[in-house]
C-alpha cells in the first residue's frame, strides 16, 4: 500500500473546519497538519484545494439483500453504491433469507463481504421469538448490535412476545437497534383501509395505515424496556414529532436515528412517487419532517443514516398490498444531507457529527469515524461547487433506480478513501479494492 497525501482541503471534523493536509501510511492517518510535503516520489497526492474533507460516513442501517434476495441487490453492488455516496462503513441488517439469527450465519455474511465489499462492513444479529440463547451467546466484538423488529416489516422477523422482549433487553451483549411500529394497530388500520378502498388502496394511505400512533406506542415501549433493563437502545428511523420527546441530547444509552428520506419527502410526495417511496415506517407530514430536522440540529436525533432497502422496479410497481416497502438511498445520501445544510436545516459540522462521529461512539467502533492521527483513513472528499445531477449519474445499486431522479444536489462526491485506499474517484468505484471488517470494543453492555 503506497503512501497517500491529501492536501489543500478544508477538514471538517469534531466541530471544526480547518485547512489541513493529511498524510496516510499503511492505511492509517499518520499526520494532520498544514503544508505537509510528500515523503517520497511514490506517494500518491490528491489535490483537495477548494474541497471539503470529511470522515467517511458510517451508515448504521442498510439492507444489502444477501443471501437469498440477490435479484434485488448484493453486497458487491450495494457497497459500490455506498462508496459512490461517501459511505465508507456500513452496518447491514439481518432480514435476509435465511435471516441472520446466529453467529454462524453472521460469519457467512462476513466471508462474502471480505471477498466482495469495497466498503468496510459489519452485520447485525437478528432477534426472534425463538433465538434468545443465540442472542445471549453472541460475541459483542464481532457484531454491530442486536436488531429487533418490534413491528412487522420486510422479512417476517417480528418479535411480539413481551416476555421474550424483556429478556432480550436484559441479556443483549451489545447495543439493541429497534424497528418500532405496533403491529396490531397497523393490522386494524389495514382492515379499515380495505373496507374503504377494497384492494385498490392508494399509496397516500400508507402513513394512515403505518400510523403515528403505531410508531409512538412501540417506541415508547422500547424506551421503557431499555430503562427498566439498563440496556443500550438505538431506535431506528424515527418519523414522528411525538417520538422525539423520548430522547435527550447527550444521552448515548438511549438514542435515535433519522433517515434521509424522512428528512426529504413528506406525505404530499406520494401523489407523484407513489409506491417508490413506500417504506416502513411511513413518510409522514410536513410538520413531522420539520420536527425531525430540528431534532437533528439540537441533538435529540443522534444519527443520520439511510435504511437503504432496494427492490426491483417491477416489484415496486405492484398494488399497495403487493409493492414491498423500501427504497435505494445510499448513493445520494450525503449530497442530500449537504443540501439540507445549504437550506439552513443544520450545519455541516452537524452532518459530520450525526453521520460519522455518533455512529462510531454509539456502536463502540474502534479507530474509525473521526479524522485523527492513528485512526484508519476513511475519508470523503466533497466538491461544494459542483452539482450532483441524479439523472446523469450511473447508479450502482443493482435495482438501478432512484427516488431522487429529477433532482439536482449542490454538492458532489469527488473521492472516497476506505482504509487508506482510494475506493471511488472520477465518478467510478475502483475495481479490486476490498474493505475491512469493523472492529468493536469487547465490552458493550
445 residues of the chain, pLDDT tens digit each? 889 999 999 999 999 999 999 999 999 999 999 999 999 999 999 999 999 999 999 999 999 999 999 999 999 999 999 999 999 999 999 999 999 999 999 999 999 999 999 999 999 999 999 999 999 999 999 999 999 999 876 666 899 999 999 999 999 999 999 999 999 999 999 999 999 999 899 999 999 999 999 999 999 999 999 999 999 999 999 999 999 999 999 999 999 999 999 999 999 999 999 999 999 999 999 999 999 999 999 999 999 999 999 999 999 999 999 999 999 999 999 999 999 999 999 999 999 999 999 999 999 999 999 999 999 999 999 999 999 999 999 999 999 999 999 999 999 999 999 999 999 999 999 998 999 999 999 889 8
| pTM of this structure | 0.98
C-alpha cell recorded at residue 75: 453486497
The residue ranges of every structural domain in the chain are 4-53+371-429, 56-362
Handedness of CA 144, 135, 260, 235 (dihedral sign): negative
Helix axes 212-229, 162-171, angle to 10 degrees: 50
pLDDT for the residue 152 = 76
Omega into 410 within 30° of 0, i.e. cis? no
Alpha helices in 248-397 (DSSP H): 260-264, 270-273, 286-298, 313-316, 333-342, 348-352, 358-362
C-alpha cell recorded at residue 168: 432480550
Catalytic site positions: 307
CATH of domain 4-53+371-429: 2.30.40.10
Q: Are 168 and 129 in contact (CB under 8 A)?
A: no
CATH fold label, 56-362? TIM Barrel (3.20.20)
Burial 213-223 (b: 16+ CB within 10 A, else e): ebbbbbbbbbb
Amino acid at each position: 500500500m503506497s503512501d497517500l497525501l491529501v492536501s489543500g482541503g478544508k477538514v471538517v471534523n469534531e466541530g471544526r473546519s480547518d485547512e489541513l493536509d493529511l498524510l496516510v501510511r499503511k492505511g492509517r492517518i499518520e499526520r494532520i497538519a498544514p503544508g505537509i510535503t510528500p515523503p517520497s516520489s511514490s506517494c500518491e497526492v490528491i489535490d483537495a484545494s477548494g474541497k471539503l474533507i470529511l470522515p467517511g460516513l458510517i451508515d448504521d442501517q442498510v439492507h444489502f439483500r444477501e443471501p437469498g434476495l440477490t435479484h434485488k441487490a448484493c453486497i458487491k453492488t450495494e457497497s459500490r453504491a455506498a462508496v459512490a455516496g461517501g459511505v465508507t462503513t456500513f452496518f447491514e441488517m439481518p432480514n435476509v433469507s435465511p435471516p441472520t439469527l446466529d453467529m454462524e450465519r453472521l460469519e457467512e455474511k462476513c466471508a462474502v463481504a471480505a471477498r466482495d465489499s469495497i466498503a468496510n462492513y459489519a452485520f447485525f444479529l437478528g432477534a426472534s421469538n425463538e433465538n434468545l440463547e443465540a442472542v445471549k451467546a453472541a460475541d459483542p466484538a464481532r457484531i454491530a448490535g442486536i436488531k429487533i423488529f418490534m413491528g412487522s416489516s420486510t422479512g417476517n422477523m417480528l418479535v411480539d412476545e413481551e416476555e421474550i422482549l424483556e429478556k432480550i433487553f436484559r441479556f443483549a451483549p451489545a447495543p439493541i437497534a429497534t424497528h418500532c411500529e405496533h403491529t396490531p394497530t397497523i393490522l386494524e388500520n389495514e382492515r379499515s383501509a380495505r373496507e374503504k378502498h377494497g384492494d385498490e388502496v392508494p399509496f397516500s394511505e400508507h402513513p394512515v395505515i403505518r400510523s403515528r400512533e403505531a410508531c409512538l406506542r412501540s417506541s415508547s415501549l422500547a424506551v421503557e424496556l431499555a430503562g427498566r433493563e439498563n440496556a443500550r437502545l438505538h431506535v431506528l428511523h424515527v418519523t414522528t414529532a411525538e417520538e422525539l420527546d423520548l430522547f435527550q441530547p447527550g444521552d448515548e444509552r438511549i438514542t435515535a436515528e433519522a433517515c434521509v428520506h424522512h428528512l426529504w419527502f413528506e406525505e404530499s410526495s406520494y401523489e407523484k412517487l407513489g409506491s417508490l417511496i413506500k417504506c416502513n415506517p411511513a413518510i409522514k407530514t410536513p410538520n413531522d419532517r420539520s420536527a425531525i430536522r430540528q431534532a437533528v440540529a439540537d441533538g435529540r436525533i443522534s444519527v443520520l443514516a439511510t435504511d437503504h432497502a432496494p427492490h426491483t422496479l417491477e416489484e415496486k410497481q405492484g398494488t399497495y398490498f403487493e409493492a414491498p416497502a423500501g427504497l435505494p438511498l445510499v448513493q445520494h445520501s450525503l449530497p442530500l444531507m449537504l443540501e439540507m445544510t445549504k437550506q439552513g436545516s443544520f450545519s455541516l459540522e452537524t452532518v459530520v457529527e450525526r453521520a460519522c462521529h455518533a455512529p462510531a461512539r454509539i456502536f463502540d467502533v474502534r479507530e474509525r469515524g473521526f479524522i485523527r492521527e492513528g485512526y484508519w483513513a476513511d475519508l470523503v472528499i466533497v466538491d461544494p461547487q459542483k452539482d450532483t445531477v441524479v439523472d446523469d449519474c450511473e447508479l450502482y445499486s443493482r435495482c438501478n433506480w432512484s427516488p431522487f431522479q429529477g433532482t439536482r444536489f449542490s454538492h458532489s462526491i469527488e473521492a472516497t478513501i476506505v482504509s487508506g485506499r482510494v475506493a471511488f474517484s472520477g465518478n467510478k468505484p475502483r475495481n479490486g479494492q476490498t474493505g475491512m471488517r469493523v472492529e468493536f470494543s469487547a465490552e458493550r453492555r
